[in-house]
Each structure stands twice: as C-alpha cells, then as structure tokens.
Chain A
Amino acid sequence: MKKTYKIDVDCANCANKMEQAAKKTEGVKDATVNFMALKMKVEFEDGAEPAAVMQEVRKNCKIVEDDCEIFL
C-alpha cells in the first residue's frame, strides 16, 4: 500500500538523509522523497499499520535531521 505525505525539509542533503532513514524503518518497503514538491511517498509492507509505521519513520527522521517535519 502506498501513501503520500506532505513534508517540510530545507536542503537536498537533508531530504536524502530522510529517505535513507525512512527506508531503514521497519514496515517500510520503499520510500522516496521529492524535495522539490515537498512530498514523501511511502510503500508499506503487507500487514503493516501505516499510522504506527509513520510515527517510527518520523522519529527516525528527527534523529538524522532535526529540522525536518513530516505532516501526518
């Protein structure tokens, strides 16, 4: 299942770090961050709960890049 979220991120490198962090999160099959359009598309594993997984993703992103924000 794929879902798109609105994000706020300042620099292209930070967007890359967010993408890497999201990909490593459990329950996430694949993630892409569109820096220009400020969108993040996440594909979830089968049986994963999107709300819970996104909280984990948000936490991981905050660790690598404090200034970013994901609007859930």
Chain B
Amino acid sequence: MLVILFILPLDDYPIVRFLLFLIPYFTVGYDILRKAFKGILNHQVFDECFLMAVATIGAMILGEYTEGVAVMLFYQIGELFQSIAVGKSRRSISDLMDIRPDYANLEQDGEVEKVDPDEVEVGSIIVIRPGEKVPIDGIVVEGNSSLNTSALTGESLPRDVKPGDEIISGSVNMSGLLRVETTKEFDESTASKILELVENAGERKAKSEQFITKFARWYTPAVCYSALALAILGPGRSPSWSSAAPARS
C-alpha cells in the first residue's frame, strides 16, 4: 500500500494524500502509539515508544508521511526479528529439558514395575531396556550394551558398557538390556543436576548484563531530553519554525 501511495500523483490533493497515508501509519503504528500513551499515564514517560511517537507525529505534521510510516515499519520488523530469535532460544532450551526421563523400571521381588524416578531408593535395581533413557546414575550389574551419551557429552561414538561400569542418567540405552544398581537419588543424578544448572543460570547475571541493565535505565530518557533540547535550542537564538521545516517542491 505504501508503494501505491508513493506512485500515485496525489500532490494536488494534499488532504486526501494525508488521510490515505494515515491508514498504513495507524496499521503499523497503533501498538506503539498505544504503548506511548499508556507510558505517559503510568508516569513512565520517556521510553522508546514515546520517542518514536513524537518523531513520527512530527514527521506527519511536517508532511513527511513516508518517513513517519517507515519509522514505525522498521521498528515492527525489528520486534519481529527479536521474537524469532527469542523463540529459537527458548525452543533449544526446552529441547535440552527433554533429557530428563519420566519413569524408571524398578525391579522388586523379581517383578519389574514402572515407577516415578523420585521413588527409587539408592541401591535398588532398575532395568533399562533398549531405546530407553537411563533415569538414574548407577553401576551396571548385568548386561552388555552401548550407550548414546550425545545429549550429555556431545560424543557421537556410542560408549560400550559391561557389568561394573558406571553410567549416568540422561544417556540413551541402545542395544542390550541392562540391570543397574542405582548409586544416587533422582534429584542428585546427572540429568537433573544439569537441568537445575540450566534453569538457575538465568538468575545470576553476567557483569555485562548488569551494566546494560543500569545503562538502559538512563539511556532512553537521556536521548529524549537531548532531542528535546536540540529541537528547542538547536535552530539558533531566534528559531523561526517556517524556515526550519524542509521545503516541499
């Protein structure tokens, strides 16, 4: 629509041109204007939306309609890129969460029962069938198999295990049935510890993140104030607004 408006020779009908340009302006910029307004209501005046609202309203008043719409459009594109990037990060983190097993095959009195991994005590025997994830850290009691540890270590070659070998939770049992005596509880097992570290990693901020947090709080208001100062003090001692506006030819 913007391209059409650009091409159409509507210079003879300035009011119509203005109204037509308002359509894309409000389509793209409605959210931003609304946020700027709410920010003012909540005493959070000087934020990015306020800056853009002032800039684009000024542009519209001056007759630079394409500038006004372009600012809003590019901001929305930036926001789109941000949500794509954040979505990808979150999905890769939630894929990581999949290494946690949901059940354990506990062997009690010769019978194998599917239980919650939390319920398995240290020293019990669990059975891990081919294709299942190892639920709890332990030592192999019986069975030979290869384990896929790529989720934990990134190692592409499977690791062969035989009785007496220690295995860690989160790896996937590939070829043979294993009977394992657990050495740790579920919460203390490798997979759970890794997930705990990942979840808590976001809480301790890096030094640069702390710096950016403080910087961001001062940066946007400072830009707003200096823009305001530039507008008022900039044109000189006797600002004459008509000469400051760009000439339209």
Contact = CB atoms under 8 A, between A and B. Distances in A.
A34 B216 contact: no
Interface stretch (B51-59, B82-90, B105-113): B82-90
B38 A34 contact: no
A11 B83 CA distance: 8
B93 A36 contact: yes
Q: What band does the interface of chain A fall in when counting residues whose beta carbon is under 8 Å from B?
A: 10 to 19
B202 A34 contact: yes
A25 interface: no
B98 to A, nearest CB: 14
Contacts of A36: 89-90, 93, 202
A10 B84 CA distance: 11
Nearest to B220: A13
Contact of A66 (B35, B86, B216): B35
Q: What band does the interface of chain B fall in when counting residues whose beta carbon is under 8 Å from A?
A: 10 to 19
Interface string B32-64: 000100100010100000000000000000000
B213 interface: yes
A32 B202 CA distance: 9
Nearest to B216: A13
A11 B82 contact: yes
Contacts of A11: 79, 82, 86
A36 B150 CA distance: 23
A20 to B, nearest CB: 8
A41 interface: yes
Contacts of A63: 42, 44
A37 B202 contact: yes
B42 A16 contact: no
Nearest to B83: A10
Interface of A: 10-11, 13, 16, 32, 34-39, 41, 63-64, 66-67
The 3 closest A-B pairs by CB, nearest first: A34-B202, A32-B203, A63-B42
